[in-house]
Amino acid sequence: MTRIAVVGPGSVGTFFAAHLAAAGRDVVACARRPFDEYVVDSKTAPVTTPARVLTDPISLDAPVDWVLVAVKAHQTAGAAPWLRRLCGEGTTVVAVQNGVEGEARLAPLVGSARVLAAVVYCGAELLSPGHIRHDSAGYLILPDQDASHRLAEIFVGTGAQVRISAAFADEAYRKLGINTVLNGITALTDRNISVLDQPDIREIGRGLLQECWAVGRAEGSTLTDDDIDPLLDAFAGNPGVTSMLQDRRAGRPTEHDALYGAVIRIGRRHGIPTPLHETFAALLAAGDPVPDGTSPR
């Protein structure tokens, strides 16, 4: 049987691990804290099923076929001991993370394994180890490659999905744009997504999308400014709370560098100015816990 590991069973990792386990797949969660059961509280994709969980990489006896890395981008280095044990020449590592730099971030940590980029849509919140509240979506978008089709087959018959896109750059930068608009604005205003209904806030969102998608076009995306208003309209009245707002309220570090930092870095590489992203990156970094773990506030 195909062996699958999920590194980082937080809100997103738990969703995918739970649905794989419920469908009888051979899946192990690699976690900091033990738990015995997956519980997904959801109106559309509920799951309660036993969980196999390991908390020490040394307990792994051999590499696995697939590794879904679902730790947040700034936690990736901490997953290195797991990846050393999980990865072999036949392993495919899937970057189940926000941002567009997952392949580059993971490649130095996985040896001879292959890294596959992914776009993640899964609205969920971790309530306790193995237990999440799921609100929306629950799928990965992968580039049109053989490995992607193999992973999609593994998810057939589960409550989660893998979708294949021949226009992966568009999907990657659409999601990056959504993240840079929703996450930073909600985290800095301490408001839910409906804050975008305010005309002045919507204009800031528009500016972020213009910058992000200009960078995306330099990387092969075809998204244009004509795509902005339909996207912003889709968030009208949305009461959702973003993951970055959850992190900010809990006093945890935010993944601002994987989002805003990525746009800034790629923009500089192509000579594209990104002043709004630079401003958001600085403000979000200033609000993160300082190295001794205390809040700057």
Angle at 234 between CA 230 and CA 239, to 5 degrees: 155
- b or e along 194-217 (b: 16 or more beta carbons within 10 Å of the residue's beta carbon)? ebbeeeebbebbbebbbbbbbbbb
Identify the burial level of 174 via C-beta atoms within 10 angstroms of its C-beta, where 0-12 means exposed, 13-18 middle and 19 or more buried: buried
CB–CB of 69/39 below 8 Å?
A: no
CB–CB of 256/284 below 8 Å?
A: yes
User: Is 72 annotated as catalytic?
Assistant: no
Q: Which residues contact 257 (CB under 8 A, 6 or more apart)?
A: 73, 74, 281, 285
SS3 145: coil
SS3 224: coil
Q: Given the structure tokens 């794989």, which residue do they identify?
A: 20
Reduced DSSP (H G I as helix, E B as strand, rest coil) percent helix, strand, coil of the chain, to 5: 45, 20, 35
CB–CB of 210/173 below 8 Å?
A: no
Q: Which of 19, 85, 131, 175 is catalytic?
A: 175
Q: Given the structure tokens 């001879």, which residue do they identify?
A: 112
CB–CB of 113/91 below 8 Å?
A: yes
Distance CA 255, CA 248 (A): 10
Which residues are the active-site residues?
Answer: 175
